[in-house]
Amino acid sequence: TPVIELAGGRKTYRSGSIEFEALRGVDLRIDRGEYVAIMGPSGSGKSTLMNVLGCLDVLTTGEYRLAGNDVGELDEIDLATLRNEEIGFVFQQFHLLPSLSAWRNVELPLMYRGTQRAERKERASAALERVGLGDRLENRPGELSGGQQQRVAVARALVGEPALILADEPTGNLDTVSTEDVLALFDELHAQGRTIVLITHEPEVAERARRVVRVRDGVIQSDGPASALHDD
Ligand code: ADP
Ligand code: ADP
């Protein structure tokens, strides 16, 4: 079953009389359990595509279905609910709340859904154990290394069992060792059947995915197995 079905996706930005087409007809299907990297140079439309896939922004024309839901038909509230239930986000800057402990950060997607406190704590603890931070439940982000903070963010992305994990330059702020930790974690999650879409401009990161989609000037330039990355 497809998690992502994007057909004829176009996105036009307007400021005054100036228009710019950041996505110029993108077709993309991603099935459950795939691990896909989206690559492209700066200005190619990666952030725009990420925002569309993440239901943070809507297409100007075209159709986007996430886990079978026609995103264009949803109002803001239903879109926010869909985003919370079906997508776990991981960002370059971690986006953790500094005043909250690790488990309090991780439980946030469950709070939004109204899950009871005891279950939230249990699931947040299990998610932190899964990323190797079972002994850091009560630590605040400032007491953790960059790599540990990103693993907290991955735990938060996982806790609600979303259809899709959407990671935007997740290793962009990490050193080599922490980058490897996070990529090893994605390998494990992929092996466990999770669907992962990773946006990156780093070839060493992209080649860890199974499939690489290259974007350029708002269109998909190539789409194929990561093993073909070195062929051009
Ligand atoms: P990338 O993430 O690959 O750097 P973006 O999706 O951020 O690419 O941007 C693609 C193109 O769209 C760029 O030329 C950028 O300047 C333009 N763009 C992005 N967002 C806006 C916006 N809100 N208004 C106008 N132009 C934008
Ligand atoms: P990234 O580093 O992810 O590519 P950018 O720094 O290109 O992000 O853009 C940051 C934000 O500014 C994004 O929300 C993007 O949509 C917006 N943006 C990018 N280019 C433009 C532009 N030319 N005009 C207005 N907004 C833009």
- The whole-number pLDDT of residue 230 equals 65
Among all bound ligands, the one having the nearest atom to the CA of 12 is: 1
Q: From the CA of 151, how far away is ligand 2's center (Å)?
A: 26
Q: What is the pTM of this model?
A: 0.89
Residue 136 and residue 139: Cα distance in Å, rounded?
5
The shares of helix, strand and coil residues in the chain, as percent rounded to the nearest 5, are 40, 30, 30
Mean pLDDT by 10 residues, the chain (232 residues): 96 94 98 97 94 95 97 94 96 96 97 95 97 97 96 97 96 94 95 95 93 97 85 54
Q: Which strand (E) or helix (H) includes residue 105?
A: helix 102-106
47 pocket-lining for ligand 1 (C-beta < 6 Å): yes
208 pocket-lining for ligand 1 (C-beta < 6 Å): no
Q: What is the ipTM of this complex?
A: 0.68
Residue 107 and residue 117: Cα distance in Å, rounded?
9
Closest CA relative to residue 91, chosen from 198, 231, 230: 198
